[in-house]
Amino acid sequence: MADKKQLPGHIAIIMDGNGRWAKSRKLPRVSGHAMGAKRVTEIVQAASDLGVKALSLYAFSTENWSRPQQEISALMKLLVFYLQRQVKKLTKNKIRFVASGNIAGLPETARQVILNTIEKTENNRGMIFNLCVNYGGRQEIVDACRRIAEQVVTGQKQIGDIDEAVVTGSLYYPELAEVDLLIRTSGEERISNFLLWQIAYAELYFSPVFWPDFTKIDLLAAIADYQERERRFGGI
Ligand code: FPP
């Protein structure tokens, strides 16, 4: 059982296996995503109840646009439906919702509901729930480079001023710069362009469970595993 005193401050999850979950039940892929959305509700609640400070979930990558249009539309609809239904509950639990990624590049309805949820929850001071949508880790670093370059061009910064803290400060959410525990479900063991800067010292946990089957018990098992590890951050 997880020890509440040594919780990972920031947990990031690559929610994988929705399609295979559906296929193994002879259901359309979209059913896997729908069940996956229910798990999002459960895991957000569980992490917040435990006292985790930040939870990042990978909902849609910059590479996911290559999926069939019908699947993309279904994912966007699920996202809209989820946020519309959950916004009150997020506030009740003092959860602050933020979104990482190219939100301006999303379909209008999805963009609006995301911005609306960010605004409605911005004063909440409990867990930060960071939904990564139209997100790519390399793109986030490119965006940070552009911001820094602009400051150099306008004379606000010198090249010599650029260090890790400056790059961190130019990320989408600098307060989410350190991931403690990265979980990927479905047995795949890849990073897939997720939070590349932020996972520098993260502990990695790969679960064989498909995301639509990933419950609070599985989250607790991942946290318990994390708590057994000795984190040295490059020291001895
Ligand atoms: C990976 O499974 C999952 C995704 C690409 C999307 C994740 C989306 C959800 C969990 C639901 C919608 C989100 C919210 C916040 C309501 P996959 O389709 O790549 O699975 P496969 O590898 O088995 O095919």
Count CA atoms closer than 13 A to 132's CA, side-chain side.
27
Catalytic residue ranges: 16, 64
Q: Which pair of tokens denotes residue 71?
A: 């699947």
| 76 ligand 1 Cβ < 6 A | no
Q: Per residue in 163-215, pLDDT tens? A: 999 999 999 999 999 999 999 999 999 999 999 999 999 999 999 999 999 99
On whether the CB atoms of residues 87 and 161 are closer than 8 A, the answer is no
Say what the pLDDT of residue 1 is. Answer: 58
Closest ligand 1 atom number to CA of residue 188: 22
- For residue 96, report the distance from its CA to the centre of ligand 1, in Å: 22
The 8-class DSSP code of residue 202 comes to P
Say what the pLDDT of residue 2 is. Answer: 65
CA distances from 61 to 14, 117, 122, 187 (A): 10, 20, 24, 19
Instruction: List average pLDDT for each run of 10 residues in the chain, which is 236 residues long.
Output: 82 98 98 98 98 98 97 98 97 98 98 98 98 98 98 98 98 97 98 98 98 98 94 80
On whether the CB atoms of residues 68 and 74 are closer than 8 A, the answer is no
Q: Quick one: CA torsion of 71, 81, 91, 112, rounded to 10 degrees?
A: 80
The 8-class DSSP code of residue 186 comes to T
Return the bridge partners of 135, or none.
Answer: 61
Q: How far apart are CA 66 and CA 59, in angstroms?
A: 15
Provide CB contacts within 8 A for 183, sequence distance 6+. 11, 12, 13, 14, 205, 206, 207, 219, 222
The domains of the chain, with CATH numbers, are 7-136+179-227 (3.40.1180.10)
Of 153, 154, 146, which Cα lies nearest the Cα of 172?
A: 146
Say what the pLDDT of residue 156 is. Answer: 97
Rg (CA), the chain: 18
Closest ligand 1 atom number to CA of residue 71: 18
For ligand 1, atom 11, the nearest C-alpha belongs to 37
Which secondary structure element, helix H or strand E, spans residue 49, and what is its range?
A: helix 29-50
